[in-house]
């Protein structure tokens, strides 16, 4: 068959051996997507397997779409019948279908809460319980609850676990279990599941309802899991249950690229897979088609230092390539200038595009110095992992209206839209309504139908009008497709009118964003592959969009800036890994155990293997962190690379005698030499240029310790709040401008928690 002729011997074995438990260890750039898609195609075309009996799971909609298109290219339209998608999208579909979710007490139209929705509910629960919001921060609580669900620990099991309760007490958060309980009860009452609930409830359904488990076991005779090293205990538990009847489970992954431990990914799933399936067939895809020999060999020399791994020998037949170049900078700002200069020169010398370049860093905060330097040289760039389209306020507002029309119990959506546009219903009235519903054991919709017991005056009339509006929308949704229903809601709610009347640049942008959302819904309705054209189906698609699924840049020729975690699965001709310093990369938070340090090393391995042609590494000997200039030590990971594959860049390294050394750099060198003095020399700061979408936050939300951005002074940290006297003030230590005391009635600050 034609498609089999495109495979190397290892890939061929991985495709044609379709029966029984199989593990494909796929080294970086080894063509795993090709093997996975050809394996699915081979099942259908050569083995005559019914596409409806194949389940293929991955981690992004983008990856699932690419796989489906490749399979369809080989087998035709039958590929559309495969149950293929992300873990969350496939299992949400299962829960909605055939009233399976109703077995657990949910309706078919249950709402899916995104992370922001979940944190909003958590914040409200903490407030209602009278707990300290600075101790029980939504992000901390959410992560704790998420970790529990990933480990299949229900709130009941959590409260009964003495070790967990003791751990919470030692961290001065003894009420964590009670918050978990209340949060889950609140979500259930709202007929809503967060992302983790989709998986947790699927596992619970299969465990508690054996007829459902048997049905799915008989239906899905072949299971394929992509990026298996990124699965958590809950995900593995689900697929093991479904695959247990026919045992045709194929997992594809690379233990060397397991980098999501902080999200609950469990590397032991792939390391111990053979223990669970002793009759396992293992095939290793070791030929790298992406990178030069020098880059592949350098990556191998790094990862071999990890103890916990499946042995493999990644190799390539590609050209030898250049040595890795190491850039040593005097400061983080100097590092940005040297990297930007290198990109500019490489592009001009080799007739490259800006899109051939990527700058990878450990934390998002490192992008600032890079952005400033790129702007100075007029180099176009994009940041991946910033505020996504579906997280913008105006988009979330309209989506919340749609959600509440479909699910009247959705508390997060209700809070968002009840006074939007303004209808005279304040926060106090909203709190009374929700507390009333909780006290009465009623739904928020029940309370809205008869609000006079909880609110008074004109608020009652405003609520009645709101209820009438929602009921009208509900009737329209029942007889219209997603686009017509969404347009009716956007117009009838008054949101479009309010945005249209705002003639500022920001207002125009928000109005255009709403139009773009309606365009997306139109595309959804007109997509021939979408059988269900309802608004409910569209909202499920949107709720499960991942960060990598939204890359629709109209001008793709830009340098890409992103964290290494975001870069996984991508490749670029030229890659710059910046900030290679101890306590930054490896992160200071990942040095407490060998397991954590090995995950950091795997992260470095992933970064190296994104490069196709040339790789640069850079570090600074001083860096501003939390408002203070600190001396830095070169990362241990640089020394992990075999010396034969790396060289110091003389062209792009700051030395006193170097022609690229600026007056700023020389001044800084002199300052460093005077470290015996009490205060390190601070460089003269250049004016900060805020991003185009800079929008100040509400200063009432400002707290000590918060990270902020100022349109003139750039990034800083709130050192002290002063509420004495007639004006509230904040003392802020800015990265480049030092200490400033600002009057909050005038200061324009954007909060970055």
The three-state DSSP-derived secondary structure of 568-618 is CCCCEEEEEECCCECEECCEHHHCCCHHHHHHHHHHHHHHHCCEEEEEEEE
Predicted confidence (pLDDT) at residue 715 exceeds the cutoff of 50 = yes
The pLDDT of residue 628: 66
Q: What are 68-89's pLDDT values in tens digits?
A: 999 999 999 888 899 999 999 9
Predicted confidence (pLDDT) at residue 169 exceeds the cutoff of 60 = yes
Q: What are 691-704's pLDDT values in tens digits?
A: 877 888 888 888 88
Predicted confidence (pLDDT) at residue 677 exceeds the cutoff of 50 = no
Query: Among 125-129, 378-382, 568-572, 653-657, which is the least confidently predicted range?
Result: 653-657
The pLDDT of residue 522: 85
Predicted confidence (pLDDT) at residue 663 exceeds the cutoff of 80 = no
The pLDDT of residue 439: 72
Q: Give a three-class secondary structure readout of 307-376.
A: CCCCCCCCECCCCCCCCEEEEEECCHHHHHHHHHHHHHHHHHHHCCCHHHEEEEECCHHHHHHHHHHHHH
Q: Is 382 exposed, middle or buried (0-12, 13-18, 19+ CB in 10 A)?
A: middle
Average pLDDT rounded to a whole number, residues 592-613: 95
Query: Among 445-449, 552-556, 676-680, which is the least confidently predicted range?
Result: 676-680
The pLDDT of residue 232: 95
Residues of the chain with pLDDT > 90: what percent? Answer: 56
Between CA 433 and CA 184 the distance in angstroms is: 20
Q: Which of 68, 533, 610, 613 is catalytic?
A: 610
Number of Cβ within 10 Å of residue 631's Cβ equals 12
Sheet order of strands, 281-285 included: 83-86, 54-58, 222-225, 249-253, 22-26, 281-285
Instruction: Establish whether 226 is a catalytic residue.
Output: yes
The pLDDT of residue 680: 41
Question: Which position has the token pair 């600074």?
Answer: 620
The pLDDT of residue 94: 93
Q: How confident is the model at residue 678 (pLDDT cuts 50, 70, 90)?
A: very low
Predicted confidence (pLDDT) at residue 36 exceeds the cutoff of 90 = yes
Between CA 342 and CA 338 the distance in angstroms is: 6
The pLDDT of residue 645: 96
Q: Which of 194, 203, 227, 736 is catalytic?
A: 227
Q: Which of 257, 540, 548, 563 is catalytic?
A: 257
Query: Among 177-191, 469-483, 731-745, which is the least confidently predicted range?
Result: 731-745
The pLDDT of residue 652: 67
Cα angle 500, 505, 509 (rounded to 5 degrees) comes to 60
The pLDDT of residue 739: 84
Predicted confidence (pLDDT) at residue 672 exceeds the cutoff of 50 = no
Residues of the chain with pLDDT > 70: what percent? Answer: 91
Instruction: Establish whether 640 is a catalytic residue.
Output: no
Between CA 304 and CA 199 the distance in angstroms is: 34
Q: Which run of H or E residues covers position 23?
A: strand 22-26
Instruction: Establish whether 175 is a catalytic residue.
Output: no
Q: Which of 13, 33, 151, 550 is catalytic?
A: 33
Average pLDDT rounded to a whole number, residues 715-737: 82
Instruction: Establish whether 554 is a catalytic residue.
Output: no
The pLDDT of residue 163: 93
| Tokens, residue 128 | 């209602």
| Tokens, residue 399 | 């989506």
Name the β-bridge partners of 710. 714
Average pLDDT rounded to a whole number, residues 417-433: 86
Q: What are 313-372's pLDDT values in tens digits?
A: 999 999 999 999 999 999 888 999 999 999 999 999 999 999 999 999 998 878 878 988
Read out DSSP for 430-460? HHHHHHHHHHHT--HHHHHHSGGGT--THHH
Between CA 134 and CA 706 the distance in angstroms is: 11
Number of Cβ within 10 Å of residue 313's Cβ equals 9
Average pLDDT rounded to a whole number, residues 729-751: 83
Q: Is 749 exposed, middle or buried (0-12, 13-18, 19+ CB in 10 A)?
A: buried
**Cα 100 to Cα 93, 96, 211, 406, distances in angstroms:** 10, 6, 11, 19
SS3 178: helix
Instruction: Establish whether 32 is a catalytic residue.
Output: yes
The pLDDT of residue 577: 98
Taking Cα atoms as reference points, which of 712, 685, 682 lies closest to residue 696?
A: 712
The pLDDT of residue 383: 86
Between CA 657 and CA 740 the distance in angstroms is: 36
Asked if 332 contacts 620 with a C-beta cutoff of 8 angstroms, the reply is: yes
Query: Among 440-444, 464-468, 482-486, 655-659, which is the least confidently predicted range?
Result: 655-659
Q: Which of 11, 18, 22, 32 is catalytic?
A: 32
Question: Does the predicted TM-score (pTM) go above 0.85?
Answer: no
Query: What does the mean pLDDT of the chain come to?
Result: 87
Predicted confidence (pLDDT) at residue 303 exceeds the cutoff of 60 = yes
Q: Which of 203, 226, 346, 372 is catalytic?
A: 226
Taking Cα atoms as reference points, which of 391, 393, 430 lies closest to residue 411?
A: 430
Q: What are 43-57's pLDDT values in tens digits?
A: 999 999 999 999 999
| Tokens, residue 562 | 């992103």
The pLDDT of residue 550: 54
Average pLDDT rounded to a whole number, residues 139-150: 93
Between CA 607 and CA 251 the distance in angstroms is: 23
Q: What are 537-593's pLDDT values in tens digits?
A: 888 888 776 555 555 555 788 999 999 999 998 999 999 999 999 999 999 888 889
Q: How confident is the model at residue 525 (pLDDT cuts 50, 70, 90)?
A: confident
Number of Cβ within 10 Å of residue 269's Cβ equals 25
Structure letter (DSSP) for residue 391: G
The pLDDT of residue 193: 95
Before 421, cis peptide (omega within 30)?
A: yes
Pairing of strands 707-710, 714-722: antiparallel
Between CA 25 and CA 45 the distance in angstroms is: 24
More reliable by pLDDT, 436 or 218? 218
């Amino acid at each position: 068959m034609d498609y089999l002729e495109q495979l190397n011997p290892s890939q061929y074995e991985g495709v044609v051996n379709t029966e029984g438990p199989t593990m494909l260890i796929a080294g970086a750039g080894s063509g795993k997507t090709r093997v996975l898609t050809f394996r699915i195609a081979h099942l259908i075309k050569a083995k005559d397997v019914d596409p409806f009996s194949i389940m293929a799971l991955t981690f992004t909609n983008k990856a699932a779409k690419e796989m489906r298109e490749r399979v369809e290219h080989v087998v035709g339209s039958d590929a559309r019948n495969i149950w293929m998608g992300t873990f969350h999208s496939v299992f949400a579909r299962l829960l909605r279908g055939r009233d399976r979710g109703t077995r657990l007490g949910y309706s078919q139209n249950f709402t899916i809460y995104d992370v922001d929705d979940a944190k909003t509910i958590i914040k409200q629960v903490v407030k209602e319980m009278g707990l300290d919001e600075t101790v029980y921060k939504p992000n901390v609580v959410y992560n704790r609850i998420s970790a529990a669900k990933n480990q299949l620990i229900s709130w009941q099991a959590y409260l009964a676990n003495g070790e967990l309760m003791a751990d919470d007490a030692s961290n001065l958060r003894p009420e964590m279990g009670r918050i978990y309980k209340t949060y889950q009860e609140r979500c259930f009452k709202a007929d809503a599941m967060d992302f983790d609930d989709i998986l947790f409830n699927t596992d619970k359904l299969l465990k508690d309802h054996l007829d459902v488990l048997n049905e799915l076991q008989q239906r899905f005779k072949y299971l394929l899991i992509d990026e298996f090293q990124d699965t958590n205990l809950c995900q593995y538990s689900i697929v093991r249950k479904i695959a247990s009847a026919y045992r045709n489970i194929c997992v594809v992954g690379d233990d060397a690229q397991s980098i999501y431990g902080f999200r609950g990914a469990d590397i032991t799933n792939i390391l111990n897979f053979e223990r669970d399936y002793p009759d396992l067939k293992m095939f290793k895809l070791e030929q790298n088609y992406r990178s030069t020999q020098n880059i592949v060999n350098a990556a191998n020399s790094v990862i071999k230092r990890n103890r916990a791994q499946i042995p493999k020998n990644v190799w390539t037949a590609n050209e030898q390539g250049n040595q890795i170049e190491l850039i040593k900078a005097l400061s983080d700002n100097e590092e940005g200038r040297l990297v930007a200069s290198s990109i500019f020169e490489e592009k001009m010398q080799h007739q490259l595009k800006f899109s051939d370049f990527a700058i990878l860093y450990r934390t998002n905060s490192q992008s600032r110095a890079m952005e400033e330097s790129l702007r100075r040289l007029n180099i176009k760039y994009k940041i991946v992992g910033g505020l996504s389209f579906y997280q913008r306020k105006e988009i979330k507002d309209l989506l919340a209206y749609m959600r509440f029309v479909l699910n009247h119990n959705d508390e997060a959506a209700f809070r968002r839209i009840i006074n939007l546009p303004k209808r005279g219903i304040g926060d106090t009235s909203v709190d009374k309504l929700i507390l009333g519903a909780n006290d009465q054991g009623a739904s928020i919709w029940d309370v809205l139908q008869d609000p006079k017991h909880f609110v008074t005056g004109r608020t009652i009339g405003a609520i009645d009008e709101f209820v009438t509006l929602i009921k009208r929308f509900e009737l329209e949704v029942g007889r219209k497709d997603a686009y017509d229903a969404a347009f009716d809601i956007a117009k009838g709610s008054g949101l479009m009118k309010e945005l249209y009347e705002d003639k500022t640049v920001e207002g125009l942008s928000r109005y255009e964003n709403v139009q773009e959302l309606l365009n997306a819904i139109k595309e959804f309705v007109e997509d021939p592959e979408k059988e269900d054209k309802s608004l409910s189906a569209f909202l499920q698609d949107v709720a499960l969009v991942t960060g990598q699924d939204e890359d629709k840049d109209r001008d793709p020729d830009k340098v890409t800036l992103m964290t290494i975690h975001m870069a996984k699965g991508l490749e670029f001709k030229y890659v710059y890994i910046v900030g290679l310093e101890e306590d930054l990369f490896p992160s200071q938070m990942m040095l407490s155990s060998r397991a954590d340090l090995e995950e950091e090393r795997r992260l470095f391995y992933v970064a190296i293997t994104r490069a196709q042609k040339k790789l640069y590494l850079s570090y600074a000997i001083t860096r501003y962190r939390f408002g203070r200039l600190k001396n830095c030590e070169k990362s241990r990971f640089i020394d992990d690379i075999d010396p034969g594959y790396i060289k110091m860049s003389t062209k792009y390294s700051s030395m006193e005698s170097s022609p690229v050394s600026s007056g700023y750099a020389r001044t800084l060198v002199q300052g460093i030499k005077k470290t015996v003095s009490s205060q390190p020399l601070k460089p003269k700061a250049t004016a900060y240029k805020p991003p185009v979408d800079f929008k100040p936050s509400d200063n009432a939300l400002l707290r000590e310790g918060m990270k902020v951005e100022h349109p003139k002074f750039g990034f800083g940290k709130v050192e002290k709040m002063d509420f004495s006297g007639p004006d509230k003030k904040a003392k802020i230590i800015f990265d480049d401008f030092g200490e400033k005391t600002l009057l909050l009635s005038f200061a324009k600050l954007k909060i970055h928690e």
